[in-house]
Every structure is written in C-alpha cells, then in structure tokens.
Structure 1
C-alpha cells in the first residue's frame, strides 16, 4: 500500500478486513510491516532496507482507536496525563487546558466506566492531542456510539481537524461519514489502494467497480464494447451510445439521481422499462425498473409527488444521458 498525505484529511474507505486498521497500526508502530518505508515530515519511522523501526512513543503520531483504549484503572485526569511528553513544562496546566477544551470539567477523578461513551471519546481525543502529534489518525471512532451522539462527536472531530490543519488519516466503511470529514478518499481493497481522489470527484465519477460500490452507486452492470461508441450493459440487456474511455471497460454504472423519465422516445439512450416495485424512503421514492430480458433491476429516484404518477407493472420511458454513464474497470 502506497500513499502520501499533505495538510489534509485522507480517508481510507473499504470493507471490514481490507487492511485499513492494520495500516494505521503500522504507522503508529503497534504493528511491524513486512517491508517498505513510513516517512513522516522527512523523519523515517520505519524502513526495512535501513533497518529503522522507531518505538511508538518516538513517532509523534496520534491514534484514536474504536474502543478509545482508555486505561480502566486510571482516572480521566490520569488517562490524559499519560499522553503528555515527559519534558513538558507546566504539565498540570496543559492537562487542565485540555480538560476545559473538551468540556470535561468536574469529571477529572472519574474512571472510564463512570463516563458516558461521548465523555470517553473526548477523553481519548484530549489524550491524543496533548502529545502534539504530527499526524492524527482515527480508526472507526464512532462505531460504538448511537446516532445522536455519533453526529455530535463527528462535528467535534471536524472542528479539531479544521483547527489543527495538519495531516490526518481517517478509517471507516461508512461512506457518508467519510464524505463529511475527509478532503480526499482512498479506496482500499484486499490490502491495496485501488483509487485515490478528491472526495467530490471520487463520488461523482469513480473509475473502478469497487470504488463505485463503496461510494454508493446503486446501478452497476457488467458491460462490454458492442460497437463504435457503443456498449452493452449485459445485466440490463441495454445497448448504450457511450461517451468516454472504453478501453478495459468491464462494468458500466449510473447514479440513481442521474436517470431521468422522459416522454421523447426518439432521443438516444431512451428505453421503455417495466416498473416492478416502489421503495419508500424518508425524502423520496425509489422506482425499481427492469428492461426486457434484463437480469438485474435499475433504480431511479423521484420526489413523492412525481412518483405517485407511476404504477407497478406499467412501462416507464427512461433516459440514460451518455455523459452520466460511468465506465468502470
């Protein structure tokens, strides 16, 4: 796995077990890579060739674990204190400042089991930042929180990242969370980075199958070139006029919000699809459509007031704009 991160937040997005957490542990010095180099601000933290492997406490990195890794036999104050560098002057004042910054006043003598999930997380954040790390790393920090508290703590981390303006790595399998927090996203699959890009570009125009799946593209079909500027979507049994790079194409995708209903059957990439189901969401309705001879459904989003016009078993005339079709390798 190879990547660089500047003064930005890079998210590692991938399914469980793909190597995201292991990457953070290697950077932190908790795990030892088999080979390669880890360099932070021109300091070599690890090099298999040069036989360098700095201890975790020498690396100046901050890692927030899923379970916060607070010491159960230490108070809140003591847990923060253990992160303060030994040569720090006014150690008590530094700890007090962090306790105030994270609104933990009055809880100094409480043990982790006496703290709520949010208080535990803020304690872990305070301990991480008191060490003045050169890079911040977050490993699925909201996995143990309920939805309301998750949102609050997410805003807390976004605020911290904006204030520090340093390098940060954020690990998650939640695409919405990653989109809100990160600047760039790396798609991780089987221990390798398959694609890395700015979040807007990656979500709008993913380049490969795994990127499309992980960023939430609901409509994906196997595809092959069928002619000059034409591709066949095998799972939908549809032939598209296509605009874009067709070399090495294996799949074609399109976002649900980019499929349009039309009344002009003479336009290119317009097909009659059968409405087989309607799925009610919170703010819109999803039409489930299928082409003649198609094996997989196609999903289209409509506002409630528009979706009510269409009935199950009817044919709906649907347009796939060639500029919105995604060639996927």
Structure 2
C-alpha cells in the first residue's frame, strides 16, 4: 500500500499507550468513506479522537490534505479549533443549555454574525430542522438530536468528517432512515470521511474501504468486497460475520481436519502457508439429498433459533467417534426451507462447498 503521505486525503501513522493495549495504527484514504470496523474497546474511537486533537498520540504523524495536524518528530500539534474537523460523537454531545441554532453555530463564534447566521440557516434547512431552531436538546427526539449534531459537524466546512457509531442510540426503524439520509449527505461531501462502527452491515453499506481494528492495530485494510469475501485472519472473519470457525489440522495440501466440527474437508486451492483455522459462512452450507458428493456429511439437529423470516439451524456432524466435537455448524436458511426440512427424518445430509471454505491465520 502506498503510504499516501503528502497527498490529498487522510494519512494516519500513530502510536498511543492505553490501558490494556497499545494503539498502533497506520492507514491512508483519499476523498472517500473509510470504515473502521472493530469490537468495542478495540481502539476505533481513540483513533478519531487523535485525528480531532482531543487526544495526543505518543508518537507519529497525522496529515489531512497535505496539512500536518500532528507530527511528533517536528513537534507539531495543531490546536483543535484549527484542524477543520467535523466530529459526530456517539452520544451527539449537544450542549443541553443551548438551542438547536446555538449548538450548530457554536464553533463559528469568531465569524461575522451575518455569515454565521447564514451558515446556521443553511444547515437547519439541509437537515430538515426548520421549526426546531429554538428548542433545547431535551425537547428533541433521538433523530432530531442526531440531525442537529450532523449540522454542527458540517457547519465548520470540515476537510474531514469523523463519525463515531452515529446510529447506535437509535431504534432500528429510525436507524435505517437516518442511514439513508447520512449517505445522501456524504454523497455531496467533497472531503474524507472516517466512519466507526462495530456493525458489519452498516460498514458494508456505507463505506468503500475498510480497516479492521483488532486490539489497537490494523488487522487488514482495503476494499470492502475483498475483505468480506476473503478474510485472512481470525478476527477479520469474526468481525465480518462468519459464524462457523474451527481449529484445523492440515493433512495434505488440499485436505484438512476441522477439529471442532468433527470432519475431514477438501479445500479448493492448495494450502501454501501455515493456517490455523477454517471458516465458512452460515449461508454457504446447503442441504444435499444425494449425500455422495465431496464434503457431504450426515448430521442431526442440535437446536434451532427462529426469526420472523429466517431460521438459524445448528447441526452436529455424525462421523468418526474419535473426534472431539465442541461446536455445532450454524446454517442460515429461509423459513420456508425450514418448514419443509423439519418434516424429513434425520439424519440430514449437508454439503460444505470446498471453494467456500476460508483458511485463516490467528
């Protein structure tokens, strides 16, 4: 990956000692939307706070559009007010004693009053807040609070937008609505955006590139399609939603033992390096009536969890008793399929496609 330093966009290469782990990350992005995907406490929000200037890294460099915000070697640490950063906090961080208009215009105090009011008016109109100008945050709904916080972030005409779990405080219906509105805003925004979430679906829908953050470091960085389709590490597979993961023993260059599932599997490509785990997504495992194909196994039902339209089916493979099974295989199927399947006598046959098996490092 090109370092990207000195080019338009965002460049981050920083270290910061924290309780429990050290934050050490390096990535760059042009004028697009970069998603930081990671579990709670992995360091995602701390990265945003370092970019904004709310936290000072121990060492490293942060550059936005060729402007150095932080450089430990050159002893540069630009003040927050000069960074031209728009920050949408997870809890919105609106000032409770200020109205909607006052919150939006808070960072514009050094501006001519007429110009300030014009910008505030534009942002109120953009975010559909007309009629709410004089209300306080306690008088707003969750969606209205979020729109006010977005308007405040955009009011400074930021060169970079930092969005920290912006939908976590909203119910599912409002979350979908606000996500659509945010995507429309970002389509018309010319700067770089960093979007933090632990929700893989949000990240996939909104972001073009992804950095998977694991215990303070970048596990993998790149195109979202590639990362979701071919995760290379255990943490990336988990964070991108892979529900079936087993420790493995490599038998030969195309055969593995899945120790946690109790079966031997063929893989599609030759195993060229050390791999410790196998994984397969829940929707890739299928039922097979023939039962005579490669990677086809007899199984019995362990338990089932029904949702309104889909069913999570947990199956145990019936095979060699010398295996010590510790995990059931998780399948995601349509409810209609489940209604037909549960009428059939067990054992059932399942197929694990060799080309869909992922081999992972820790």
Is 1:248 paired with 2:274?
Answer: yes
The match for 1:13 is 37
The match for 1:55 is 79
Measured after TM superposition, the shift of residue 307 of structure 1 is 2.0
The match for 2:104 is 80
* Maintained 8 Å contact 1:260/1:318: yes
**Structure 2 counterpart SS, 1:150:** helix
Greater Cα shift, 144-153 or 34-43? 144-153
Is 1:30 paired with 2:54?
Answer: yes
**Structure 2 counterpart SS, 1:256:** coil
Measured after TM superposition, the shift of residue 300 of structure 1 is 1.7
Is 1:317 paired with 2:349?
Answer: yes
Give the Cα–Cα distance (whole angstroms) in 2 for the partners of residues 318 and 232 of structure 1.
17
Greater Cα shift, 20-29 or 64-73? 64-73
The residue correspondences of 1:48-197 to structure 2 (distance < 5 A) are: 48-84=72-108, 86-87=110-111, 90-197=115-222
Give the Cα–Cα distance (whole angstroms) in 1 for the partners of residues 119 and 350 of structure 2.
62
Gaps of 5+ in 1: none
The match for 1:215 is 240
Give the Cα–Cα distance (whole angstroms) in 1 for the partners of residues 256 and 183 of structure 2.
42
* Maintained 8 Å contact 2:285/2:350: yes
Give the Cα–Cα distance (whole angstroms) in 2 for the partners of residues 306 and 140 of structure 1.
35
Structure 1 residues 85 and 310: CA distance shift in structure 2, 3 A? same
Measured after TM superposition, the shift of residue 149 of structure 1 is 1.8
Is 1:308 paired with 2:303?
Answer: no
Greater Cα shift, 48-57 or 202-211? 202-211
Give the Cα–Cα distance (whole angstroms) in 2 for the partners of residues 171 and 65 of structure 1.
10
Measured after TM superposition, the shift of residue 87 of structure 1 is 4.5
Gaps of 5+ in 2: 1-24
Is 1:299 paired with 2:330?
Answer: yes
Give the Cα–Cα distance (whole angstroms) in 2 for the partners of residues 96 and 54 of structure 1.
29
Measured after TM superposition, the shift of residue 8 of structure 1 is 1.3
Cα-Cα RMSD: 1.7
Scaled by the length of structure 1, the TM-score of the pair is: 0.95
Give the Cα–Cα distance (whole angstroms) in 1 for the partners of residues 270 and 191 of structure 2.
37
Measured after TM superposition, the shift of residue 228 of structure 1 is 2.9
**Structure 2 counterpart SS, 1:4:** strand
**Structure 1 counterpart SS, 2:29:** coil
* Maintained 8 Å contact 1:83/1:128: no
Give the Cα–Cα distance (whole angstroms) in 2 for the partners of residues 48 and 40 of structure 1.
16
Scaled by the length of structure 2, the TM-score of the pair is: 0.86
* Maintained 8 Å contact 2:253/2:270: no
Give the Cα–Cα distance (whole angstroms) in 1 for the partners of residues 259 and 223 of structure 2.
30
Measured after TM superposition, the shift of residue 91 of structure 1 is 2.1
Give the Cα–Cα distance (whole angstroms) in 1 for the partners of residues 226 and 90 of structure 2.
28
* Maintained 8 Å contact 1:270/1:318: yes
Structure 1 residues 271 and 165: CA distance shift in structure 2, 3 A? farther
Measured after TM superposition, the shift of residue 206 of structure 1 is 1.2
Greater Cα shift, 119-128 or 303-312? 303-312
* Maintained 8 Å contact 2:86/2:154: yes
Q: Which digits, 9 at most, give the CA deviation of each residue in 1:60-92, with x for residues without a partner? A: 111100111112222211111122373567222
Give the Cα–Cα distance (whole angstroms) in 2 for the partners of residues 276 and 75 of structure 1.
56
Give the Cα–Cα distance (whole angstroms) in 2 for the partners of residues 251 and 313 of structure 1.
32
**Structure 1 counterpart SS, 2:161:** strand
Give the Cα–Cα distance (whole angstroms) in 2 for the partners of residues 130 and 43 of structure 1.
20
Give the Cα–Cα distance (whole angstroms) in 1 for the partners of residues 139 and 111 of structure 2.
31
